[in-house]
Amino acid sequence: MASHNIYDDPDFLAGYSSLKRQVHGLDGAPEWPVLRTLLPDMAGRRVVDLGCGFGWFSRWATEHDAASVLGIDISTRMLERARAETTATSVEYRCLDLDVLDLDPRSADVVFSSLALHYVRDLDRLMSTVSAALVLGGSLVFSVEHPILSAPTSQEFESSAQGDRIWPLNNYLVEGERVRNWFVDGVVKQHRAVATYVNTVLDTGLIVDRIVEWGPSADDIEARPELADGLHRPWFLMLRATKPAT
């Protein structure tokens, strides 16, 4: 079965491109300052960016002296803009499906992914590929939509009798497809519990050394009040793992 490729839908792409994070890049992504702290030094590293989209991180990595960056995405339209906005010859973009991706063993020092893995159906397979592709001591850093956000049937906050804002969490342990209305109808994402993300990585032999459940700081909320919902349920799950050096 072919993977869902909603980013090539023109109506979806028009809406997605208008998001602050796609207009301003990493500076418009409120979680970037924290995600960045999970990353190792890029200098001289061979980096893979899974679900690279418009290539914001791929360009950042090369500007921070990565030896090479391989940006991978299933969407030809996302990659078209990524290529148009990238001048560095050390960045290569390839149109590939993460669900059937192959990478050469020990070919990467850093594997990164921002907000793409919750579209991947076979995470076990992809994480095994990533683990084999990392060199000893190499790092995996990724962010996904937080499972408390991705789980519920309803994506609308409710109000308690006391007037408290309530996130209607249900179906947390019912993993699998979630079909959402986000810019267009029928956007398919994959919900997984936090433990599944962690254990899937651990089962490949990588060591998880940091997890972040990202919510906004007071400064973030002052700058962008709409982020305050992240105090009730985190927006993003971030994870860093390392391939043991021996």
Positions touching ligand SAM (CB under 6 A) are 3, 7, 51-53, 56, 73-75, 78, 97-99, 114-116, 119-120
The residue among 96 and 198 lying less far from ligand SAM, judged by its C-beta, is 96
Which stretches does DSSP call E strand in the chain?
A: 46-50, 68-73, 91-95, 108-114, 134-145, 158-159, 165-166, 176-182, 184-191, 207-214, 236-242
In the complex, which residue's CB is closest to ligand SAM?
Answer: 53
The one-letter amino acid code at 72 reads: I
- Provide the minimum distance between the beta carbon of 158 and ligand SAM in the complex, in angstroms, as a whole number: 26
DSSP secondary structure of 77-130: HHHHHHHHT---TTEEEEE--GGG----TT-EEEEEEES-GGG-S-HHHHHHHH
The residue among 4 and 232 lying less far from ligand SAM, judged by its C-beta, is 4
- Provide the minimum distance between the beta carbon of 61 and ligand SAM in the complex, in angstroms, as a whole number: 12
The residue among 7 and 235 lying less far from ligand SAM, judged by its C-beta, is 7
- Provide the minimum distance between the beta carbon of 245 and ligand SAM in the complex, in angstroms, as a whole number: 28
- Provide the minimum distance between the beta carbon of 185 and ligand SAM in the complex, in angstroms, as a whole number: 17
Residue 137 phi, psi (nearest 5) = 85, 0
- Provide the minimum distance between the beta carbon of 5 and ligand SAM in the complex, in angstroms, as a whole number: 6
The residue among 56 and 197 lying less far from ligand SAM, judged by its C-beta, is 56
The residue among 119 and 235 lying less far from ligand SAM, judged by its C-beta, is 119
Q: How far apart are CA 126 and CA 128, in angstroms?
A: 5
Q: CB–CB of 147/190 below 8 Å?
A: no
Nearest-5° Cα angle at 41, 126 to 104: 30
- Provide the minimum distance between the beta carbon of 131 and ligand SAM in the complex, in angstroms, as a whole number: 18
Q: CB–CB of 243/138 below 8 Å?
A: yes
The residue among 15 and 152 lying less far from ligand SAM, judged by its C-beta, is 15
